[in-house]
Amino acid sequence: MSRDLTQTSPEAGPSIPSGHFLSLSPSYASPSSSPSVLPSTSSHLSGGLAPNVASLASADFEVDVRTGFLPATRNLTRLPLEWELWESALDAARGTGENGQLRLQGGGEREKLWRAGIETMGVLDTVGLRSSIRLLRRAHLVLTFLLHFYVHTTPVEPTPRTTPLPIPESISVPLLAISPLLGLPPIVTYSDTVLYNFLAPNPSAELSLATNPPTHVITTFTGTKSEEQFYVISALCEIAGAEALKLMRQSLDELFVADEKALKRLAHYLRKLAVQIDRISDITMSLMKSVDPEEFYHLIRPWFRGGDSDGPQSAGWAFLGVDDDAAGTQAENLADRATADGVRGRLFSGPSAGQSICHSYPPSHSITLNHNPVSTNAGIAPAAETPTAPSRPNEATFVQRMLQYMPLAHRTFLLHLSTHPTPLRPLVEHYARTHPKLAEAYDGALEALKRFREKHMRIVSLYIVQQARRRPSERVRQILGHSEADDNEAEEVKIELGEMRGTGGSPLFKFLKRCRDNTTKAMIGRPAGPGFDLS
């Protein structure tokens, strides 16, 4: 039996704010909707129509009840023949033929020939890709990997560039055509390396953490086991996050009722959520056994660098052959830099775990627990962290920027979570005295989130801080093509932690500590004790 949720009475519970998704006509009921058109995922982009959100698991959000944010259908391993030219170019870059893989900043004959081939390659039509979301995802992955191979095989200049690095039309034109269809920027993102890049052993069976988990990836930059496992472990975190999504949905459902039985069930769900967050933490820590820290820092991570890798003064990348405005359509809140000659360099950031909903900074958990709300401009940040004076034009907080690197449907999901008419935290505070087990369960979920961030900081310390302070080993130098030892080489490299930036462009450690500390401050009961420190 249906009921009008826009009406309220003392018995009906909380009222629904005007404009909330529950009071709007669903987008799937629109006469103009068509299976051939990608669904609208945001009410302000769909003429006042709301997404189909019978629960937090919704096709409009690209969320599946079984797989969470991972695609429920098998990822494509290769594009059809019409776009074989892209796939062949990627094969050549990855060294899947007779020749070896292209080298970082190599500048050798192989790198020069490959780059010349990209520069003279024709511009392929993208219209046929629009028939399938799977085709679009694979095309974005292939083109952005080609983009990063092209950029990072460019010989390094002695000083930072002052003019944008030009990106050939063969990459920029098709990439800028398909990126808006996915709601992604024209750069490698977490979605490309993880969500659209994993395979499970049994293609005919349902994806499952217990019986058919992600075990392989389709495309890597280095061909190393470390890189593959880095992506696989992230995918395992995502599939584990599906159960957390179920618990969050159940918790939010209880908020509509908020009677005695609902409060008891809510405490139960919060305790289970804490267990699931710890499970994701444990999967994340398995990196220690599967991913070599030196290989990650020196061989893998450099391929991730984006146009902003030299900091706010980066020259960026110039996408040739496209209208200047088109290159920024998916990055309204991202910075760009116009040089003296009028050529605009785009300062997109490389892939980062901050672009994941379930992995490194789980914003869906934070929003559900109401200590990291989503602002009206669809950015996520603790309220106290909203900047009043951005450090560069149009720059929001790191998490707000990372939101722009998620698929549009997933961004809309986070916004939907933040618009729940009955926030969790005020309710727990209201009942903290009369229902202490509820407050204890709430703090327990936040403690699990804090433990997650502590473990992430330990991983960052091992894989970035310690590696940045050391010279690469002879083994790694040989792989990089720098086998001769430097006579002036020191055992340790002096580096300021405050100057280190993540691949997402953030001041890495200030952000990590702030996330950890804000989680502790949000606890209703006693705060947790002092935590892990990187300094």
Q: What confidence tens digit (pLDDT) does each residue in 224-243 have?
A: 999 999 999 999 999 998 88
Q: pLDDT tens digits, residue range 356-395?
A: 766 544 444 554 565 444 443 332 222 222 223 334 333 3
- CATH no. for 59-321+347-370+394-482+499-522: 1.20.58.480
- Model pLDDT, residue 341: 56
Intra-chain end-to-end CA distance of the chain, in Å: 58
Write out the binding residues for heme b: 456
- Identify the band that residue 523 occupies on the pLDDT scale cut at 50, 70 and 90: confident
Verdict on whether the full-model pTM lies above 0.85 = no
Average pLDDT over residues 315-337: 65
Handedness of CA 352, 355, 356, 357 (dihedral sign): positive
Binding residues: 456
Token reading at 188: 């490698």
What burial letters (b/e) apply to 511-532, b meaning 16+ CB within 10 Å?
A: bbbbbbebbbebbbeebbeeee
377: amino acid identity, one letter: N
Q: What per-residue string of b and e applies to 271-287 under the rule 16 or more CB within 10 Å gives b?
A: bbbbebbbbbbebbeeb
Among residues 272, 294, 304, which one has the least CA distance to residue 472?
294
Highest mean pLDDT among 100-104, 290-294, 322-326: 290-294
pLDDT in tens, 328-348: 544 443 445 545 455 678 888
Using one digit for the tens of pLDDT, what is the confidence trace for 91-102?
999 987 556 789
